[in-house]
Amino acid sequence: MTDRIYLDWNATAPLRPDAREAMLAALAAVGNPSSVHAEGRAARRLIEEARAKVAALVGAEPRNVVFTSGGTEANVLALSPSPRIRKLLVSAVEHPSVLAGGRFPAGAVERVPVTADGRIDLAALRGRLAASAESVMVSLMLANNETGVVQPVSEAAALVHAAGGLLHVDAVQAAGRIPCDVNALGADLVTVSGHKLGAPKGIGALIRRDAALDLADPLIRGGGQERGQRAGTENVAGIAGFGAAAAAALAGLSAARARLAKLRDRLEAGLAAASPEVVVLGAGAERVPNTTLFATAGIKAETAIIALDLAGVAVSSGAACSSGKVQPSHVLAAMGVPPELAQGAIRVSLGPSTAESEVDGFIAAWINVSQALLKVRRGIAA
């Protein structure tokens, strides 16, 4: 079997060697981290060391990190009403776990439109905040999972705080790829997911900027783990892997960011040279350096992805996929992308170990696949 080309890092990143090593060491630790004996204290030490590393990734204090099962759980924990906050505003391009509103009632959730380049309409946000008779929470992702577009989070934070509200930032696709300092962003709450960084699947975190900010009632009640914010014996191995991956991502951030930007430019230049009709979606806005979402009129993404997979290349559709069923992309619909173009959107996402040869291999595979699909389409039309 020939080597495959994996270009779907936004879906999940391969496990980092550092994370694997940390997990194996943690799996050998027998103690329950809530126990007071030496074995328990050793397990607790692994958790707290990882907590400090995850906190450093976003410039937060370790005590403000609550470990969860992943980004979705962290989002739901964050998006919870309180006596002061009874309304939630979300951008129209958020992850489904945010669009669902967490624990806010459906009638208390409103979507804020985005511009054609996929960035939140700050004027619309300002208007919604001014029109609200009550304090609100706003949830705005830092980087979009489909287009890679970076949102104007610090500008939004200024508007939200001036209106007496709170800002939650889903940084799942941004952490480890661009700087994500909670203080620079002005985010009150930040969500991070381990498996996007090269940690194992099934571990994430909700992080507060200020310890004085009280979280809502826990989603999982029971013991006093995670300072009373999430009951249940901690996933020590997953947390240890998360910490190691976070430290490695932070240490290599600057170099990886520059290298990935060059690879993405190489990819997009190759696509343009091979297929002048290719449209890169969100290209007019700032994007994370590893993501390209493109489409060609007349080519359906679902068919192209299967053909690419058979050619040994793993990429994703710009549409949401659940249980193998491809649905129209709410992100592209919110951006006003015509349906005939949106249905062909293909996402290529790179990672620290992606090589130039893999990018070139994808371009070659795309040329073959797209030409074959367009030929079939023209034959059908004839």
Q: Tell me how long the chain is.
A: 382
Q: Are residues 85 and 219 in the same domain?
A: yes
Active site residue 180: no
Model pLDDT, residue 275: 86
Q: Are residues 80 and 211 in the same domain?
A: yes
| CATH number where 200 lies | 3.40.640.10
Q: Are residues 180 and 66 in the same domain?
A: yes
What is the number of other CB atoms lying within 10 angstroms of the CB of residue 371?
A: 12
Tell whether the torsion through CA atoms of 53, 57, 60 and 66 is positive or negative.
negative
Encode pLDDT of 150-172 as tens digits.
999 999 999 999 999 999 999 99
User: How far is the C-alpha of 18 from the C-alpha of 246, rounded, in Å?
Assistant: 10
Last-in-domain residue among 227, 251, 275: 251
User: How far is the C-alpha of 158 from the C-alpha of 186, rounded, in Å?
Assistant: 8
pLDDT of 1 > 50? The answer is no
Structurally, the chain folds into a number of domains equal to: 2
pLDDT of 15 > 60? The answer is yes
Q: Which of 61, 60, 62, 88 is nearest to 75 (CA)?
A: 88
Which among 24, 116, 130, 321 is annotated as catalytic? 321
Q: Which helix (H) or strand (E) holds 182?
A: helix 182-185
Q: Which of 274, 279, 283 is nearest to 362 (CA)?
A: 274
Q: Which of 162, 102, 100 is nearest to 132 (CA)?
A: 162
Q: Are residues 127 and 176 in the same domain?
A: yes
Last-in-domain residue among 251, 280, 301: 251
Last-in-domain residue among 186, 217, 251: 251
Domain range for 72 is 17-251
- Both tokens of 328, joined, read 């129209």
Encode pLDDT of 101-150 as tens digits.
999 999 999 999 999 999 999 999 999 999 998 999 999 999 999 999 99
Helices (H) and strands (E) in the chain, counts: 13, 15
Indicate the pTM of the whole model: 0.95
| CATH number where 281 lies | 3.90.1150.10
User: How far is the C-alpha of 59 from the C-alpha of 78, rounded, in Å?
Assistant: 18
Mean pLDDT of 269-293: 95
Model pLDDT, residue 319: 57
Q: Are residues 187 and 336 in the same domain?
A: no
User: How far is the C-alpha of 266 from the C-alpha of 302, rounded, in Å?
Assistant: 24
Percent of the chain with pLDDT over 70: 96
pLDDT of 251 > 90? The answer is yes
pLDDT of 267 > 70? The answer is yes
